[in-house]
């Protein structure tokens, strides 16, 4: 039994919601998935829940100016069943790895980004590979935060005071190929270990590449040095192998006692090589 008295408010407009969320002791709720676990941990001074359920438009998913705009209250499943997702294979494949149907149907993008948690790492990694941004509204302005902001600061993300996520925006995919790869291993215990990749090529040459590992570190990690080394080059079996050899402690700082470090580093190398080969089959045998 959790002995706490809470007031529930359900504003009908964004303006009303913003007036409430900046106040002390008020907490936003979208689909309430994290409420019980948060209350068990104890949330000091919480006295009012501000539900976003009644605000129109926050669950919509649409294409505007070539961008895919995902409302913060849209569920994972509503995007999974949306035809626009065909353009973003990395995100479709990452969403499909969320093992629990309850979470797939009820987790919202705004709630998951704000709450953090390893279960959402594949989705965050795919959004990072696709250069997503997040629209955060406050009473004074609206800001577009780059998605990598949400992979910092440990588990819980600090939004600007009184801030509310309204939308996740994916740029037009243009000629970008993308994928999210994972492995079935150890009775599914590490199902959230995976890699998100996106790239553009001119002929055999890689123009731009994003490589994000999920599940190895507390938050998904971008392999910037490897990206820089590969951009502007043509992939060969040797360059792919040498990219995997670069996954030392500097590039991938593993601090997880449950799973042997050597095993994780090997797994990361295998995923990286498979990801590079999967999107560049035409140039690498």
**Which spans of this chain sit near ligand FAD (rule: CB under 6 A)?**
27-35, 52, 72, 100, 102-103, 106-108, 110-112, 114-115, 117-119, 159, 164-165
What residues are paired with 265 via a beta bridge? none
The one-character DSSP state at 213 is E
Closest to ligand FAD by CB, 97 or 108: 108
Closest to ligand FAD by CB, 110 or 194: 110
Shortest Å distance, C-beta 10 to ligand FAD? 13
Shortest Å distance, C-beta 273 to ligand FAD? 29
Beta-sheet strand order (sheet of 61-64)? 61-64, 67-71, 164-170, 133-137, 142-146
Shortest Å distance, C-beta 5 to ligand FAD? 18
Instruction: Report the alpha-carbon distance of residue 51 to residue 177 in Å, rounded.
Output: 37
Q: What are phi and psi of 161, to 5 degrees?
A: -50, 125
Instruction: Report the alpha-carbon distance of residue 13 to residue 56 in Å, rounded.
Output: 7
Note whether 84 and 70 are within 8 A (CB).
Answer: no
Shortest Å distance, C-beta 116 to ligand FAD? 7
Shortest Å distance, C-beta 166 to ligand FAD? 7
Closest to ligand FAD by CB, 159 or 230: 159
Closest to ligand FAD by CB, 72 or 95: 72
Shortest Å distance, C-beta 258 to ligand FAD? 15
Long-range CB contact pairs, 224-229, < 8 A, 24+: 225/250, 225/251, 226/251, 226/272
Closest to ligand FAD by CB, 107 or 280: 107
Residues belonging to the chain: 285
Note whether 87 and 46 are within 8 A (CB).
Answer: no
| Strand boundaries in 105-191, DSSP class E | 133-137, 142-146, 164-170, 177-182
Instruction: Report the alpha-carbon distance of residue 261 to residue 249 in Å, rounded.
Output: 10
Q: What are phi and psi of 46, to 5 degrees?
A: -70, 125
Note whether 216 and 249 are within 8 A (CB).
Answer: no
What pairing do the DSSP bridges indicate for beta strands 133-137 and 194-202?
A: unpaired
Shortest Å distance, C-beta 49 to ligand FAD? 9
Shortest Å distance, C-beta 3 to ligand FAD? 20
Closest to ligand FAD by CB, 32 or 67: 32
Closest to ligand FAD by CB, 218 or 251: 218
Instruction: Report the alpha-carbon distance of residue 195 to residue 67 in Å, rounded.
Output: 23
């Amino acid at each position: 039994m959790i002995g706490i008295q809470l007031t529930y408010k359900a504003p009908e407009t964004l303006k009303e919601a913003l007036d409430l969320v900046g106040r002390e002791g008020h907490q936003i709720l979208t689909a309430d998935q994290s409420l019980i676990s948060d209350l068990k941990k104890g949330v000091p001074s919480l006295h009012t829940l501000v539900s976003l359920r009644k605000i129109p438009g926050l669950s919509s998913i649409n294409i505007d100016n070539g961008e895919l705009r995902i409302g913060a209250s849209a569920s994972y499943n509503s995007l999974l069943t949306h035809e626009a997702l065909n353009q973003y294979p990395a995100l479709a494949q990452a969403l499909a790895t969320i093992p629990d149907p309850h979470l797939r149907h009820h987790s919202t993008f705004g709630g998951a980004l704000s709450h953090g948690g390893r279960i959402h790492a594949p989705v965050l990694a795919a959004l990072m590979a696709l250069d997503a941004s997040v629209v955060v509204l406050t009473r004074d302005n609206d800001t577009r935060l780059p998605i990598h902001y949400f992979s910092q600061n440990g588990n819980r993300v600090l939004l600007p005071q009184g801030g509310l996520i309204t939308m996740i925006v994916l740029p037009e995919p243009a000629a970008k190929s993308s994928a999210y790869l994972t492995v079935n291993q150890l009775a599914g215990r590490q199902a959230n270990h995976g890699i998100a990749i996106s790239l553009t090529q001119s002929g055999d040459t890689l123009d731009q590449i994003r490589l994000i590992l999920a599940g190895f570190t507390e938050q998904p990690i971008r392999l910037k040095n490897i990206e820089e080394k590969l951009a502007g080059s043509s992939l060969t079996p040797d360059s792919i192998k040498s990219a995997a050899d670069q996954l030392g402690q500097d590039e991938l700082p593993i601090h997880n006692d449950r799973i042997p470090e050597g095993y994780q580093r090997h797994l990361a190398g295998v995923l990286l090589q498979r990801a590079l080969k999967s999107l560049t089959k035409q140039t690498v045998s």
